[in-house]
């Protein structure tokens, strides 16, 4: 990693992995818990996927995979409308997201009683990263101030050098600056903000 005049660049190498968080139909415009402009990140993520895949680097996709009566749903006393119910169209990844055949899919929040914002929470993600010799992770997805933020926080706590893909995240922004504050928090905790043009292979 190099810095200069406030600019961060990164050269991809063995031990790097791409993680994109919860890019699912229910979180896209028209979905039951839509992130405004969430669809804008799909062509950008496709560029990241193609780059990492071309160099044989690991790619992970997390997804909410809720039972129909999940505790996060309003009907069960939670804060969210029903979304990403396992095996439903809303839980599917959008057809426009260009998956390689060897992508690792990580399902989270799969039990009724437990919610999970982080891709590491009660999932095999950390074990898979460790067994693959991953030391650096590049994270994007939805939504910036919820599942992306918590996945980044856990990655840092677990000791991964962590980059946040600022061009490949979008926020719900219940308050207008929620996404910005989340990015600032991630950087304060040690994540490195970066965008596609600053990554080379």
End-to-end CA gap in the chain: 12
Does 22 participate in catalysis according to the annotation? yes
**Average pLDDT in the 11-17 region?**
97
Q: What is the pLDDT of residues 163-200, one digit of tens each?
A: 999 999 999 999 889 999 999 999 999 999 999 999 98
**Active-site residue 71, yes or no?**
no
Confidence (pLDDT) at 34: 97
DSSP 74-132: GGGT-SB-S--BTTSGGGSPPTTS---TTPEEEEES-STT----STTTTSSHHHHHHHT
pTM: 0.95
> Would you say residue 5 has pLDDT above 70?
no
User: pLDDT confidence of 2, banded at 50, 70, 90?
Assistant: low
Catalytic residue from among 26, 64, 147, 153: 147
pLDDT in tens, 63-87: 999 999 999 999 999 999 999 999 9
Calculate mean pLDDT across residues 7-12: 91
Topology adopted by domain 16-200? Rossmann fold (3.40.50)
For residues 164-177, one letter each, b for 16 or more C-beta atoms within 10 angstroms of the residue's C-beta and e for the rest, the string is bbbbbbbbbbeeee
Does residue 29 register a pLDDT over 80? yes
Q: What is the spatial distance between Cα 72 and Cα 76, in angstroms, rounded to a whole number?
A: 7
> Is 147 designated active site?
yes
Rounded Cα–Cα distance for residues 57 and 39 (Å): 24
> Of the listed 16, 22, 26, 154, which one is catalytic?
22
178: its two tokens: 């929620």
4 phi/psi in degrees, rounded to 5 = -170, 125
pLDDT of residue 4: 42
Closest CA to 99 of 24, 34, 172, 167: 24
* Catalytic-labelled residue, pool 84, 108, 115, 153: 108
Extents of the domains making up the chain: 16-200
Dump pLDDT digits (tens) for 135-156. 999 999 999 999 999 999 999 9
- Please give the mean pLDDT across all residues of the chain: 95
Task: Give the model's pLDDT for residue 145.
Answer: 97
Query: 58: pLDDT confidence band, cut at 50, 70 and 90?
Result: very high
């Amino acid at each position: 990693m190099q810095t200069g005049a406030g600019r961060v660049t990164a050269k991809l190498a063995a031990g790097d992995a791409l993680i994109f968080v919860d890019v699912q139909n229910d979180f896209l415009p028209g979905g039951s818990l839509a992130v405004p402009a969430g669809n804008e990140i799909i062509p950008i993520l496709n560029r990241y996927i193609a780059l990492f895949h071309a160099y044989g680097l690991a790619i992970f996709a997390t997804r909410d995979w809720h039972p129909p009566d999940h505790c996060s749903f309003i009907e069960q006393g939670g804060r969210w409308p029903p979304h990403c119910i396992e095996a439903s169209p809303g839980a599917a990844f959008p057809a426009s997201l260009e998956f390689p055949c060897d992508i690792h899919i990580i399902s989270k929040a799969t039990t009724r009683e437990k919610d999970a914002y982080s891709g590491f929470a009660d999932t095999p993600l950390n074990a898979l990263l460790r067994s693959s010799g991953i030391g650096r992770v590049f994270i994007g997805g939805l939504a910036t101030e919820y599942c992306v933020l918590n996945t980044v926080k856990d990655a840092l706590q677990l000791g991964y050098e962590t980059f946040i893909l600022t061009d490949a995240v979008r926020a719900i922004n219940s308050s207008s600056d929620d996404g910005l504050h989340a990015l600032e928090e991630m950087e304060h905790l040690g994540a490195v903000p970066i965008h596609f043009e600053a990554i080379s292979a």
